[in-house]
Amino acid sequence: MATRTWTRGAGTGDWNTAANWEGAAVPVTGDIVIFRGSVAPPTTNLDQGAVDLAALIIARDFTGALGASGTELMIAASLVHYRGSGDFYYQHASHVNTLFTDLIIIDGAIAANSASAPAIEISSEESDNDKISHIMVNRGAVTIAASNGNMPRLTVGYITNPLSDASVTYASAATTLAKLVQTGGRVKCTVAVTEANVSGGTLVQEVTYGITTLVMTGGICQYKDDATITLADLHGGVLDLLQSPDTMTITTTILQGNSDLIYDTALHTFTNFYDLRRETR
């Protein structure tokens, strides 16, 4: 394993030019790749789909944009940690070593003289669907493309501002997100979610993509779908069912603590309804 830092020493934007890398060697499978500082980013030969990195690290002081729409940086990596202030277009490549577990952490910096976090797009080549195990977003405007297939876990939080640091759009596809953990930010979800745990921020669950189990201790869930929720366990926060005019059913509803449920008895059916907020002791 070697650490390869991008220096642009050759004065070009070519990824495959050895002199552009510290140690005069183009990264290969098993290496750690680092981008740091205000050096101009690579712009050509960004398709590195045959390379399987141990880690791809974009440091906090890196100001350049990596990739662009249609010309993403395509490379496999066990860990991707993005902390830069420029835009980042990343396509997860098919692994040579399928034993790797992929964790993508998005913790973008806010560029000088800018009020907004970087724009980030995460996609996956079709032959490697379902290989991303966890995407964690703390700051950034992130689009998770539909090509990613099923994914075990998405975590959305914040660094400074719990309401606006992270904005995540999970693009529409016939895929399933096994678990969503949201402590802040705004999530627009157009995939089915098996389990959602919301303690802060706003989750917008779009039409035709339901949530099987919803546990809330805070935040807001704007539920626009008509799919049945098997369990809505509310210890806090607000579940708003009036975002859609369609009828729907919640099999088991439990209201506790400071939770709030916004609904219409003409539209919404509750098979088992327990309002423990009103329990006398």
d(C-alpha 52, C-alpha 32), whole Å? 10
165-181 average pLDDT score = 87
For the chain, counts of helices (H) and of strands (E): 0, 19
Greater confidence, 149 or 142? Answer: 142
Closest C-alpha among 89, 166, 83, 174 to residue 130: 174
What was the pLDDT predicted at 99? 47
d(C-alpha 63, C-alpha 139), whole Å? 15
Look-up: residue for tokens 């220096």? 7
Q: Strand (E) positions, 6-116?
A: 32-35, 47-58, 73-82, 88-92, 102-107
pLDDT in tens, 59-82: 999 999 999 988 999 999 999 999
d(C-alpha 12, C-alpha 19), whole Å? 9
Q: Considering just the CA atoms, what is the radius of gyration of the chain in Å?
A: 21
Q: At CA 45, angle to CA 43 and CA 49, rounded to 5?
A: 125
Cα dihedral 133/85/61/66 (nearest 10): 70
Determine the residue type at 87.
D
What is the percent of the chain where pLDDT is above 70?
Answer: 89
Instruction: Assign 98 a pLDDT band (cuts: 50, 70, 90).
Output: low
By CB atoms closer than 10 A (0-12, 13-18, 19+), residue 80 is: buried
Q: Phi/psi at 115 (nearest 5 deg)?
A: -100, -5
CA separation (Å) from 241 to 8, 149, 266? 53, 27, 12
User: How far from each other are the two terminal CA atoms of the chain, in whole angstroms?
Assistant: 63
Q: Is the pLDDT of residue 101 over 70?
A: no
CA separation (Å) from 177 to 17, 92, 152? 39, 17, 6
CA separation (Å) from 205 to 33, 233, 239? 36, 16, 11
Q: Is the pLDDT of residue 153 over 80?
A: yes
